[in-house]
Amino acid sequence: MAELSAAAAIIACVRTDDILGAIGNTPLVGIERFAGTPGVRMWAKLEGQNPTGSLKDRIALRMIEDAERSGALRPGTVILEPTSGNTGISLAMVAARKGFRLTVVIPDNASEERVRLLELYGAEIVFTPGDKGTNGAIEVAERMARDDRYFMPFQYGNPANAMAHYEGTAEEILRDLPEVTHFVAGLGTGGTLMGVGRRLKEHDPEVQVIAAEPELGELVYGLRSLDQGFIPPILDESLLDRKVLVSSAAALRGARELLQTEGIFCGISAGAVLHVARRVARSLESGDVACLLPDGGWKYVSTGAWTLDIDVAEKAVEETLWW
């Protein structure tokens, strides 16, 4: 089944009218060696295969096209969004293709690759203090959005965020793995967990939806501790069966181990998801655990997270914005 599904995805993406048509249909691959649990199969949804390298391409396209249809986004309007990096890059790609200007508000400890990509796509960048994280970026963007020349999609409260995953990501998982028993994703905006989780539970109410949540004070950015004081409006915690806390060090180790055992180069927040998914797998006698890896590691090479000694790399993780 996996081989046929992969072939179908390749066929679906051979030819598209433009780059936006290449969004989605990402591979779902087995990671048996990483799991190391007899009777339980682990699967990784590789969202790094999207055009800009992250799952945020899905929501950027959906939010912008919904806004165009509703009239909220018109020619001459400037798109404005607070982001820790990937959503901004995805919006920059969509905006460039559609002819809109974009301003992103981003913490100043984003990796160099993210900042350079935003610049290359032509985005205007407003930096906020890194120690305030994405919450600080949200506060600044909300003040800027009072100016009528801006349209802010606001991924944290936009229903199109979850709907992109409900109609896209979840349907792909069910197409490729209808026997899925558990789904693990990072707790960030809440869109992935809400959209995929709701659709999988419609398919089978017994499917477990598990969130990887960073420990309070841990910088696994893009992932969000609800204890930080901001709960994304689109997040419905009743849909979650479990939340598992994970440290930045555990996230780094998960990402490094996946590269060593499976040859998959994923981002650090993906490492957090892997850490939690393996804990889930080891608690089971049988099952199919699907874990969503939101991006690849290519945007973070400059940090040395994969090449430095582990103790030094863990320190870098604690100080760097990852998603």
pLDDT of residue 230: 59
pLDDT of residue 133: 79
Dmax of the chain from CA atoms?
57
3-state SS string over 163-198? HHHHHHHHHHHHHHCCCCCEEEEECCCCHHHHHHHH
pLDDT of residue 235: 87
> Which class is domain 2-54+162-319?
alpha beta
Helix segments in 147-267, DSSP class H: 159-164, 170-176, 191-203, 248-262
pLDDT of residue 286: 95
**What are the domain boundaries of the chain?**
2-54+162-319, 56-151
On the 0-12 / 13-18 / 19+ scale of CB atoms within 10 A, 38 is: exposed
Shared fold status for 2-54+162-319 and 56-151:
yes
pLDDT of residue 225: 42
Across the chain, which has 323 residues, the per-10-residue mean pLDDT values are 48 78 97 91 97 96 97 96 89 97 92 89 94 86 95 94 98 98 93 97 98 66 48 86 90 93 93 94 96 92 77 60 43
Residues 128, 139: Cα–Cα separation, whole Å: 10
Topology, domain 56-151 = Rossmann fold (3.40.50)
Pair 189, 159: CB distance under 8 Å:
no
pLDDT of residue 229: 52
Q: What residues are annotated to the active site?
A: 56, 269
Residues 298, 53: Cα–Cα separation, whole Å: 8
End-to-end CA distance of the chain: 32
CA angle 118–122–123, rounded 5-degree value: 55
What is the DSSP code (8-state) at residue 281?
Answer: H
Residues 55, 59: Cα–Cα separation, whole Å: 8
pLDDT of residue 218: 44
